[in-house]
Structure 1
């Protein structure tokens, strides 16, 4: 590997035969061709991306693959959460087959969480399973959705209800790609980054509070923050790859957040990370209401996320507030529901999240009514 392609950070995910590296560097896309040629000799590539990322990043990746002599085909999809759907999944699989990509070829997911989830799921079923590589171009995807092997699409019944666990072979997180993000999309990704401190790493959350200006500005703290988040997720994934236990902690804020996303139509009205930010504040406030966590911790979490430019209350969502019953209907379809019982990720304070089963739906509904 050329000295010019030395990674800024590398995080290893030790999953035995499915182990892989997360490479975090400013030139991860430019170096992709060299890395892939060394890792998968003789393979051809299908690049799945969306229309927005295709304009900003696809030329960089195509040039890198071309320079390394790697054949590739491009599959460009509409941008937006609605792309995580049955029709677009069928389109991707049909294009994989139409391009005559073989089982030992590689699918590349170039984009944010939507593209990573959809392309990963397509790779898991095309020709009964192909390898794929994540090249996440959003902060949210770099710190969360590209790592851990969760792939899937949305259903009319809820978010991410159809999918598979399918680990990538490599993750290339390109820091330069983040420079094209709008402040809103950067903030949405930051919510998932902050989540790791709120789950079980109080020290990380305090470090984020102190270093957020440098993270936002793109200094060395940004790469360190991404690496620390990836390492935190890798630890959880290695311990519980298929969410039989504590991996559910990674869903802090997501039960409320996914319900809000569904109620707002999976639209630009509420981005995924924004839903998670509100959901995490609600999880902390619900925990405080139940007497489990100090109310001042909920206030501290809300203040930090608000400082990062994120919505933190239902009132911050544009338009009419979703009815409580609509939110409860969505919560009832959450993936963590077991035998009809609600499961929430609650907390005893910053960095002290835990899984609480058999939550009373009436208590949740009353809480949602009280905070409107």
Structure 2
């Protein structure tokens, strides 16, 4: 087992990474003592891992461990599903000592975290991510929330977990498409601030696609370490943390424009990073070699390298105008200045953006 720490002073918490951690009760014991616990999961993950986690928690928990099983999919990451969690907790009269445990991918982690942030004005929660994307990104850093018809993750709160437990064995049951979606976020870390990691990914991507445990464990460790460092510097995204959104403004436009759940988040981010790299090239901030290396790695990860047919350039701009990173009416984008170097900026040429959208979109 490997342990990292997200350093946030009195709200710091560990990230445990290793094989078989769902079966080790010691990680949970101190946090569950004297508390009522509720596992929130979904219909896909529950048959695979819910009983295992229940048995593990029963070894260190006096009372019953209840579970709420939600439908699976990005289209259910909304206030209606959130209200189901509130109702479940209220009907059982859970108080502020309650502990919520998110067992699943990014949707479960985000919506459970937001429920924890807002139920009784805030209760504790634990992240137990079971997809590569949630293990390397959404389970770490305290971003929680739900989607709205007018924008992804537009309703939410910063609420840090007390603990993150990453059992890499859960990736054995992950569909290939979901594995590739997670690799988009892994590649992102190399692009924004970790050129050495990008080179490692270029050399070792076949091992990740083959699910070699040692390669996956290292990629997860490096991704979590990169994110933990950024979050410790800028918890609430007032500056540097926004770099973690490389490709996300374009990607969120794809998810929103196509309808939540049509493209996986990582697929949309993969295409979005290509669009960001293309715009960076238009601005002469990167060269052809940087663009080609970025495109090749994302394509090799079996991710889309262009947005879907049916979204026009104008529709992209319309959706992006409502992005969370818009500040005082100005759209801000994360763009590249080289492999491993990135910047959040509103200082881009609108004509270059038009060129990128017109070149890559297929209405």
Q: TM-score, normalised by structure 1?
A: 0.94
5 Å-filtered alignment, 1:1-372, equals: 7=1, 9-31=2-24, 33-70=25-62, 71-216=64-209, 217-267=211-261, 269-314=262-307, 317=308, 320-372=309-361
Please list every run of 5 or more consecutive structure 1 residues that lacks an aligned counterpart in the other structure: 1-6
Please list every run of 5 or more consecutive structure 2 residues that lacks an aligned counterpart in the other structure: none
Post-superposition Cα deviations, 1:169-220, rounded to whole Å, max 9, x if no partner, equal 0000111111111111000001101110100110000011111222232231
- Deviation (angstroms), 1:104: 1.2
Q: Are the structure 2 counterparts of residues 295 and 58 from structure 1 closer, same or farther at C-alpha, using a change threshold of 3 Å? A: same
Post-superposition Cα deviations, 1:249-271, rounded to whole Å, max 9, x if no partner, equal 0000101110011111012x311
- Deviation (angstroms), 1:137: 0.3
Cα distance in 2 between the residues matched to 1:96 and 1:326: 40
- Deviation (angstroms), 1:360: 5.0
- Deviation (angstroms), 1:90: 0.9
- Does the Cα contact within 8 Å between 2:247 and 2:271 map onto a contact in 1? yes
Runs of 4 or more above 6 Å deviation? none
Post-superposition Cα deviations, 1:149-181, rounded to whole Å, max 9, x if no partner, equal 000000111000000000000000111111111
Q: What is the aligned partner in structure 2 of residue 4 from structure 1?
A: none
- Does the Cα contact within 8 Å between 1:342 and 1:360 map onto a contact in 2? no
- Does the Cα contact within 8 Å between 2:270 and 2:305 map onto a contact in 1? yes
State the number of aligned residues.
Answer: 359
Post-superposition Cα deviations, 1:227-274, rounded to whole Å, max 9, x if no partner, equal 11000000000000000101000000101110011111012x311000
- Deviation (angstroms), 1:328: 1.0
- Does the Cα contact within 8 Å between 1:278 and 1:312 map onto a contact in 2? yes
Q: Are the structure 2 counterparts of residues 341 and 359 from structure 1 closer, same or farther at C-alpha, using a change threshold of 3 Å? A: farther
Cα distance in 2 between the residues matched to 1:214 and 1:324: 37
User: Could you say what secondary structure the match of 1:346 adopts?
Assistant: strand
Cα RMSD for the two superposed structures: 1.3
Q: TM-score, normalised by structure 2?
A: 0.96
